[in-house]
A and B are shown apart, each in its own frame.
Chain A
Amino acid sequence: MEGGQMTELPAQTSRKMGLVIDLDTCVGCHACVISCKGWNTENYGAPLSDQDPYGADPSGTFLNRVHSYEVQPEQGHAQLVHFPKSCLHCEDAPCVTVCPTGASYKRVEDGIVLVNESDCIGCGLCAWACPYGARELDLAEGVMKKCTLCVDRIYNENLPEEDRVPSCVRTCPAGARHFGDLGDPASEVSQLVSDRGGMDLMPEMATKPVNKYLPPRPKDRIEDQIDILAPLLAPVAEEPAGFLGWLDKALDKLPVGNS
């Protein structure tokens, strides 16, 4: 154990699987939240429980949540930004190094951060260490739960190929969630990050998150051009000649009135 680390991170991973989330197209519909909770309650690992689910103060375990923020710029209109948040599968994951039992680990082959639930003692240190609040202790099972990138889907040959992506990605009706290898600069997700100025969440925490967020595009400004048809309605000829001249005369001859 060097530098006070309880559990070691791999020096490097072969691939960096992760999500790219488009804050421009996310409409905050929560389809990913429910789909995530559904899939991860029926398959890999302990199912996700709920406490007081029909009572005055319900709560439960979610691996993916959407928070909606109202942004009020100095200039221009206020705007809602819907912000989905799940584990970012950090390269320097503080949730792994803090784990006293080795239950929390980062995989060498694809970089996914997982919890070995049989070794997890539910001490909650990893949830304290994660600056993103991405881990939740399941109160019924007493083990730490987190996004697995649907590790039981993405390599699952029993599923049709198009379904071998995380449940949240498969379900997003806005196409705002993308899955791929962010360690490969040629991958579609890496291209997307480079084209759209993809951002790290809280880079100052030095966790080197793998997941990236695409910022909202600037809104159209109505002041720039209020009538989108105007350019199409400009006169094509001041004094019509030829065919246009004939058409102009023919239209003039039509009877005027309420037809």
Chain B
Amino acid sequence: MNPEQLDRYIENGGFHVSHIPDAALYYKPWNTAYQDWAVGMGLYDKPEPYLFQLYVEPLRKFQLAAEGYGERQPPEHLRERIKATMDPLPIWYETDQQGNAGFTVNALTQRPMAMYHSWGSQNAWLRQLHGRNPLYVPTKLMRENGLSDGDWARVSSPHGEITVPVMEMAALNENTVWTWNAIGKRKGAWALDENAPEATKGFLLNHLIHELLPPKGDGLRWANSDPITGQAAWFDLKVKIEKAAPPDGIAESQPAFAPITSPVDTGPKDLKWKVGK
């Protein structure tokens, strides 16, 4: 307790500066000086060196419980899943998004790196770097489906269907398609003009991904997320792709929705700044 807390704030103009000691500036997850400093500052409750585990003992403990060892036992309906997925060593298994038959192509997204470096108010600049997101399709799938750059393709999963512009990419696994995430926008969003490419040709893969796994007859619907981390299972999406129309055959990515009401006007027509004099 510091009864004069507010006075201290006023004295220091609301600021406090505390530099990290030199010895603590590097290799922080494993640096005793940093760990102790962080505990002293209240960032950590106790030193927490970051241990990389190739064999992840905590996962094995869960798995052992699922195998019947120990006092604490998982609920029966989770036992098999825990046993199969909480493996202490890296494993791979085919995910089941409600039947993969016919859906042979992996579909991925990644957020443009520029968005990690600057965001929000800098969208006027960022959208000049990444304002369009075709579906990037490997050469083999372009040929097989008679596709050329700018054509529209119908992309479907067991859960839905989208129609989007494609672009050939040779430096891509022959069974994988991808696009930039976070570019497609609903009309009316982000203070953009309704004719902004993000709102006309931009798209997201969300329509192809169900939030729940298919019913298994146990009366429950399981979340479609990674059983270990809970991460939404975007990297498990499998699709099929077919040509829908030539470039001028369709005007907008499908599905298209009516504009949402924007709480603000669209952005200004020009951005110019005043600096100095």
Contacts and interface: CB of A to CB of B under 8 A. Distances in A.
Contacts of A29: 113-114, 116-117
Main secondary structure of the interface of B (DSSP, over half): loop
B171 interface: yes
Contacts of B258: none
Contact of B171 (A42, A53, A77): A77
A70 B136 CA distance: 12
A30 B129 contact: yes
Interface string B74-111: 00000000000000000000000000000000000000
A34 B125 contact: yes
B196 A78 contact: no
A47 B114 contact: no
- Chain A: interface residue count, which band? 35 or more
B195 A56 contact: yes
B271 A78 contact: no
Given A30-B113, A77-B171, A54 B275 contact: no
Contact of A50 (B128, B171, B172): B128
Interface string A51-66: 1111110111010001
A41 interface: yes
Nearest to B197: A56
B141 interface: no
Interface in A27-50: 27-31, 33-35, 37-38, 41-43, 46-50
B193 A53 contact: no
Given A30-B114, A70-B171, A72-B170, A50 B124 contact: yes
A140 interface: yes
Nearest to A35: B117
Interface stretch (B10-18, B216-224, B261-269): B261-269
B128 A58 contact: yes
Contacts of A30: 112-114, 117, 129
Nearest to B114: A30
Interface residues of B, number: 35
A56 B196 contact: yes
A49 B196 contact: no
Contact of B267 (A34, A54, A56): A54
B270 A34 contact: no
A53 B191 CA distance: 10
A51 to B, nearest CB: 6
B129 A70 contact: no
B27 interface: no
Contact of A70 (B170, B192, B197, B269): B170
Interface of B: 112-114, 116-118, 122, 124-129, 131, 169-172, 190-193, 195-197, 266-275
Nearest 8 interchain pairs by C-beta? A54-B267, A29-B113, A78-B170, A53-B124, A30-B114, A47-B273, A78-B171, A140-B272
